Amino acid sequence: MEEKTLEEIIARYDSPTGKVLGILGDIQRSEGYIPRETLEMLSVKIDVRISQLYSIVTFYSFFSLKPVGEHVITICMGTACHVRGAVGVLDALESLLDIHGDTTEDGKFSVTTKDNKFTVEIARCFGACSMAPVLQIDGTLYGYANPDTLPAILEQYGWRAA
């Protein structure tokens, strides 16, 4: 991220209330993750220890230090979705994309396909429980997801069956 862009983001927050998470959220949304250099630049600009910022970024699920692929698929694993088969949807998704995800030692779940086209992550609840199971791709929600409807959805994002 360019220094000027970061300064513009920082300038949106005129009060310490909600500032740090707000700035980090804007960076995450803009870049898809938090680049290390941006975090270090931010530490200097807002005078907060890098250890504190790193602690925050690793604590909250919303932030990622790893770059993501072209498209980010987030599967909801909330209660309503779990009860309606979200685990099966995740398994089917991993099978179609030929990836295997697991919670890593930082407690987060994020796995990217070898060709860097898709990153699969997990969310705790989008609040669209009435159409469980739910998945989100690049910010668009898809309700009533099931293994059979997945290929058609993925194809819209450039996936092709092997």
Partner 1 sequence: MTGVFDRAAGEVAGQKKILPGKPRIAVGLATCGIAVGGEKVYERLQEIIKKTDADISLTKTGCIGYCREEPLVNITIPGKPLVILHKVTEEDAEGIVEAVKKGTVPYKKALCRVPSWDHVTGTVITYGNGFDEIPLYADVPFFKHQKKVILRNAGFINPEDIDEYLAVGGYATAEQALTRMDSETIISEVEKSGLRGRGGAGFPTGMKWRITRDAPGAAKYIICNADEGDPGAYMNRNEMESDPHMLIEGMIIGAYAMGAKKGLIYIRAEYPLAIRRLVHAIGEARALGLLGKNIIGAGFDFDIRIATGAGAFVCGESTALVASIEGRTGRPHPRPPRLTDPGGGLWGIPSDLNNVETWCNIPVIIRNGSGWYAKIGAEKNAGTKVFSLVGKVDRVGLVEVPLGTSLNTIVCDIGNGGAQGKKVKAVQTGGPSGGCIPVRLFDTPVNYESLNAVGSIMGSGGIVVMDEDTDMVDIARYFINFATGESCGKCVPCREGLRHTLILLNRLIARKGTAKDLETLALLADTIKNTSLCGLGQSAPNPVLTTLAYFREEYDALVKP
Partner 2 sequence: MTQGKTGTELAEPPKKPVTVSINGNAYRADEGECLLTVAERVKIPIPHFCFEQSLEPYGACRLCMVGVVHHGKTVMETACTLRAKEGLTILTDTPDIVKYRTILFELYLAEAPKSAVVKEMAARYGVTKTRFLRRVDTGDPLGGACVLCGLCVRVCNEIMGAGAINFINRGPYTVVNTPFTEPSRDCFGCGACAAICPTHAVRIEDRDGVRILHSWSETKVPLSQCVSCGKYFAPAALEKSVLSRIEPPLRDDLAGLCPACRAKKLAKKEILAATGGDPGDA
Q: Footprint of partner 2 on this chain (CB under 8 A)?
A: 36, 49-55, 58-59, 105-107
Q: How far is the CB of 39 from partner 2 (least distance, A)?
A: 8
CB 7 within 8 A of CB 42: no
Q: Does residue number 142 form part of the binding site for partner 1 (CB under 8 A)? A: yes
Residue 104 binds partner 1 (CB under 8 A): no
**Minimum Å distance from CB 130 to partner 2?**
29
Q: Which of residues 54-93 bind partner 1 (CB under 8 A)?
A: 55-56, 59-63, 76-84
Q: Which does 63 bind (CB under 5 to 8 A by kind): partner 1, partner 2, none?
A: partner 1
Q: Which two tokens stand for residue 158?
A: 């450039």
**b vs e for 2-28, b when ≥16 Cβ sit within 10 Å of the residue's Cβ?**
eeeebeebbeebeeeeeebeebbbbbb
The rounded distance, in Å, linking the Cα atoms of 21 and 119 is: 23
Q: Of the two residues 69 and 78, which places its CB atom closer to partner 1 in the complex?
A: 78
- State in angstroms the smallest separation of the CB of 145 from partner 1: 10
Task: Let me know: does 10 contact 23? Beta carbons within 8 Å.
Answer: yes
**Among 25, 30, 29, CA closest to 4:** 30
Please identify, using beta-carbon distances, which residue of 53 and 97 lies nearer to partner 1: 53
- Cβ proximity of 52 and 62 under 8 Å: no
Residue ranges in contact with partner 1 by CB under 8 A = 15-22, 24-25, 48, 52, 55-56, 59-63, 76-84, 103, 107, 123-132, 134, 139, 141-144
